[in-house]
Copies of this chain bind each other. A is one copy, B any other.
Amino acid sequence: MFESAEVGHAIDKKTYAKTVPELRESLLEAQWSLHEHGGFPVIVLIAGVEGAGKGETVNTLNAWMDPRHIRTVAFSQPTLEEAQRPRMWRYWQALPKKGQIGILFGSWYTEPIVNRVQRLSKKANLEMEIARINHFEQMLSDEGALILKFWFHITKKEQRKRLRAIDADPKRSWRVTKTDWRQFELWDRYYAISEYTLRNTSTGYAPWIVVEGTDERYRNLTVGTQLRDAILKRLALHKRKAVPAITPPLIEPIDRVTVLKRMDLSQAIPDKQYDKELEHWQDELLRLTRQKGFQDNAVVAAFEGMDAAGKGGAIRRVTGALDARQYQVVPVAAPTDEERAHPYLWRFWRHLPRRGKLTIYDRSWYGRVLVERIEGYCAEADWMRAYAEINEFEQELVESGAVLCKFWLQLSPEEQLRRFKEREGTGFKRFKITQEDWRNRDKWALYQQAAADMIERTSTSIAPWTLVEAEDKNWARIKVLRTLAEAIRKVV
């Protein structure tokens, strides 16, 4: 993979001087079209051997283009803010939005490669990381991002020469750290593991481009040209896909039995017993979230369910047990324009709690496979791939030490109707029933089928759904509280 970057590529001064003005002009034009069009984000990963001119080339790119629409982010050791959230959190924060070019130094590749080189992880771990990276990049690509991954390569001999030269120059010596030299000693291992990783992550949607770093002019021209051509090619292809309003055919199982229909909605708790149990479980929740051990964990709770199933009431019973400084409730409504300019899951990533905190999502990332699927807000291909993306997201969450609970609140259509009518009768504005609620009700069967599909595809051993019988509010609230408390108890 690196052989072709060891052949001694070079561009002479004259050719460079002749080529650069044209390239700059067309790069600027490509960038401007991209920005004006606002159609897709461009993610440029800069990786490779230390001393191969990564920084210089990125500075040249910034000089050639309009730096106002480029966002360059360098990653080193995670800050405390970052370390207290799932590993991918900081990369999500750094993703460029539509129309923008994001240049990432030290991306999601650094840790897996370096850990393996330093024998902090096993081969199987690297394999797993590679599989995940491929899924992640596939998701970015499916969400419309253009991904360019540049690997800067120089030979071992050349690297030694460069590190020494920089070290000797007082103006630049700050750039070579002890880590660089330590890494150099592991050159052969680093070479092999990088090559293996690149080979296995060079996909159709996000291929690696290996750049020989020895000659500055060659390096700059290669990266500049690749970037320009990729943007232009994509712009030519890119047309705003009109999303057809698909109403997916109802493919119920032949016997019409879904997991939701098997739920025993007759379960109930009488008021007196409820009061006692409520107090018990709220006390327990408070106690657990104040344990010292809780400071190492975060809690993410997602609530989904039919309209009027009592999500709000259940959430209030949870927050009622907690200290207001510890939790955040995120009501999920229509995305803001900043959210729309990023991949779908971005708006959930941004609210993830740090350790010792709880985030409660009132409706969640499952909107894609529920309302968006049914109302045709996204294409069938988009919600179909969402199941796998969501499973990856939740795995990342759980592995970062978060306690994840997902609740589906189910009630019967008769009880929903009763509650709608009751709400229409009360004076409370907050409980008013809108036309939309009635429309959704007409699509009861579609929502039930979408929910059943969702549970089938996303109830995993690491992130199972809790199906909550919500016909009786007491029962539902206690079940939610108990489930949460028991999940937290396992970890503190």
Q: List chain A positions with a Cβ less than 8 A from chain B.
A: 25, 28-29, 31-33, 36, 55, 58-59, 61-63, 66-74, 79-81, 103, 105, 171, 174, 287, 290, 312, 315-316, 319-320, 322-325, 327-331, 336-338, 362, 427-430
Contact = CB atoms under 8 A, between A and B. Distances in A.
Given A59-B323, A68-B312, A72-B325, 14 more contacts: A28-B428, A29-B427, A31-B430, A32-B428, A55-B324, A58-B324, A58-B325, A67-B319, A67-B327, A70-B329, A73-B325, A79-B80, A79-B81, A80-B80
8 cross-chain pairs, A with B, having the tightest CB-CB distances, nearest first: A32-B430, A74-B325, A68-B331, A72-B324, A63-B320, A67-B319, A68-B329, A67-B329
A58 B63 CA distance: 52
Contact of A59 (B28, B58, B324): B324
Given A290-B174, A336-B338, A429-B36, A67 B315 contact: yes
Interface centre among A33, A62, A330 (most CB of B within 10 A): A62
A29 B325 CA distance: 24
A31 B429 CA distance: 10
Contacts of A103: 324
B325 A33 contact: no
Contact of A63 (B28, B32, B68, B319): B319
A58 B429 CA distance: 24
Contacts of A79: 80-81
A434 to B, nearest CB: 11
Nearest to A61: B324
Contacts of A80: 79-81
A71 to B, nearest CB: 7
Interface centre among A36, A63, A324 (most CB of B within 10 A): A324
Q: So how many copies of this chain end up in the complex?
A: 2
A467 to B, nearest CB: 23
B320 A66 contact: no
21 contacts: A29-B427, A29-B430, A36-B429, A58-B325, A59-B320, A59-B322, A61-B324, A62-B319, A63-B319, A63-B320, A66-B312, A68-B330, A68-B331, A68-B362, A69-B331, A72-B324, A72-B325, A79-B81, A80-B81, A336-B336, A337-B338
A432 to B, nearest CB: 9
B429 A32 contact: yes
Contact of A71 (B25, B71, B328, B429): B328
A315 B328 CA distance: 40
A62 B312 CA distance: 13
Given A36-B429, A315-B68, A429-B36, A55 B325 contact: yes
A439 B121 CA distance: 63
A287 B33 CA distance: 35
A61 B174 CA distance: 54
A217 B121 CA distance: 57
A105 B324 CA distance: 10
Contact of A316 (B29, B67, B322, B325): B67
A105 B430 contact: no
Contacts of A338: 336-338
Contacts of A174: 290
A373 B70 CA distance: 30
Contacts of A290: 174
A55 B429 contact: no
Nearest to A354: B79
Given A55-B325, A68-B329, A331-B68, A316 B63 contact: yes
